[in-house]
């Protein structure tokens, strides 16, 4: 019988959330009867003591090394069975710019965007506003949990934003107002749709992880036509990005329009306020049942199981 090793923590800006998610997953696995070991990752390397002949790894790492394919690549080289998307799919989905290109090519509706990769101050703020409109959302291409999220109105604000020091690739998107929606997926099949209604009007880091600051409606009170399109787009995005096991796709549904894809998350949060468990509850899955379903494909991949 395999031992399940839950790896949590990590070195990203989302370390504390990962620790909470990992503890919740480990407890759910124990309630399902699995032997579980918890490891707090403090360096970007595989923890000592892992054994591919004994252990199935359940990464619960958010951002950086956990979601960009780093730990997945090391697990693959070590011959480990592990939960979630492989290294190639993880790296793709961590890059919002690349993901939107792939998903858009698959026929999914995506928001107009502008890419920033270097020399930000050299970009023409007026031209960007002419292309995207007065209201713009700025976010890092390769980070999560709304880290660095900014809302910009007009060319003057955009010039100020561009002049501030920053590193890495950034994404500017046309700001689309409407219902904020997310849809969980298991094995490529869409689960329930959750509507996110933050009290502040902005679903930022604080709104995500402060209990009571956001109202969640699940299933989302949208038309069946819109819900069917969200589910279809979610499954298309999952397939286009070659995801496996599970993921979560995020959308905006403007009034009178069709859903607009934002991003896909390959290692969604699993805390008390997290969205994937809410999505799963819409199809009758408890938290413990969801975690067991997330683990099941990795157990099938485990070489010691026949």
Q: How confident is the model at residue 85 (pLDDT cuts 50, 70, 90)?
A: very high
Measured distance CA(68)–CA(59) in Å, rounded = 12
Q: How does pLDDT run across 221-263, given as a tens digit for each residue?
A: 999 999 999 999 999 999 999 999 999 999 999 988 999 999 9
Note if the pTM is more than 0.85: yes
- Summarised one tens digit per residue, pLDDT across range 164-206 is 877 778 889 999 999 999 999 999 999 999 999 887 666 666 6
- The domains found in the chain, sorted by start residue, are 3-83+292-301 (3.40.50.20), 93-109+177-285 (3.30.470.20), 113-174 (3.30.1490.20)
Q: What is the pLDDT of residue 306?
A: 34
**Dist. CA 201–CA 245, nearest whole Å:** 32
Going edge to edge, which strands form the sheet with 179-186? 214-217, 189-198, 179-186, 246-253, 260-265
Which comes out higher in pLDDT, residue 25 or 122? 25
- Each residue's pLDDT tens digit, 43-65: 888 988 899 999 999 999 987 78
Q: What is the pLDDT of residue 100?
A: 93
User: CA–CA separation, 7 vs 10, rounded Å?
Assistant: 8
pLDDT value, residue 213: 76
| Percent of the residues in the chain that have a pLDDT greater than 90, as a whole number | 63
- Residues in the chain, how many? 306
Strands (E), 132-174: 135-140, 150-153, 170-174
Q: What percent of the chain has pLDDT over 70?
A: 92
Residue 113 scores a pLDDT above 80: yes
At residue 305, the pLDDT reads: 46
pLDDT of 219 over the 60 cut: yes
Active site positions, annotated = 14, 145, 209, 248, 250, 263, 265, 269
**What is the residue-averaged pLDDT of the chain?**
89
As to burial, measured by CB atoms within 10 angstroms (0-12 exposed, 13-18 middle, 19+ buried), residue 278 is buried
Largest CA distance in the chain: 63
| Per-residue confidence (pLDDT) for residue 235, from 0 to 100 | 98
Residue 144 to residue 159: CA distance in whole angstroms: 24
* Nearest CA among 88, 83, 84, 27 for reference residue 57: 83
257-301 confidence digits (pLDDT tens): 999 999 999 999 998 678 999 999 999 999 999 999 999 999 999
Would you state the pLDDT for residue 210?
66
- Taking the C-alpha atoms of residue 65 and residue 91, their distance in angstroms, rounded to an integer, is 10
d(CA 284, CA 201): 29
């Amino acid at each position: 019988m395999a031992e399940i090793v839950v790896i949590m923590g990590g070195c990203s800006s989302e370390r504390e959330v990962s620790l909470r998610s990992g503890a919740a997953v480990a407890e759910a696995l124990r309630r399902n009867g699995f032997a579980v070991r918890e490891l707090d990752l403090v360096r970007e390397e595989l923890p000592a003591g892992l054994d591919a002949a004994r252990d199935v790894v359940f990464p619960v790492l958010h951002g950086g090394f956990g979601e960009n394919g780093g730990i997945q690549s090391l697990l693959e080289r070590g011959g480990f069975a592990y939960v979630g998307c492989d290294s190639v799919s993880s790296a793709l989905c961590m890059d919002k710019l690349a993901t939107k290109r792939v998903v858009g090519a698959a026929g999914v509706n995506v928001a107009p965007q502008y890419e920033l990769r270097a020399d930000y101050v050299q970009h023409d703020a007026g031209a960007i506003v002419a292309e995207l409109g007065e209201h713009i959302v700025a976010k890092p291409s390769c980070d999560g949990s709304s880290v660095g999220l900014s809302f910009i109105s007009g060319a003057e604000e955009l010039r100020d934003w561009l002049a501030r020091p920053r590193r890495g690739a950034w994404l500017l998107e046309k700001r689309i107002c409407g219902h904020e929606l997310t849809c969980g997926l298991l094995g490529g099949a869409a689960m329930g749709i959750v509507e996110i209604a933050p009290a502040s009007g902005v679903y930022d880091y604080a709104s995500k992880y402060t209990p009571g600051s956001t109202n969640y409606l699940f299933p989302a009170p949208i038309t069946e036509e819109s819900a069917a399109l969200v589910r279809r787009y979610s499954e298309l995005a999952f397939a286009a990005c070659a995801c496996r096991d599970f993921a979560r796709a995020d959308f905006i549904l403007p009034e009178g329009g069709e859903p607009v894809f934002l991003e896909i998350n390959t290692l969604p949060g699993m805390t008390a306020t997290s969205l994937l468990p809410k999505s799963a509850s819409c199809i009758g899955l408890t938290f413990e049942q969801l975690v067991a379903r997330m683990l099941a494909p990795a157990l099938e991949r485990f070489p010691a199981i026949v």
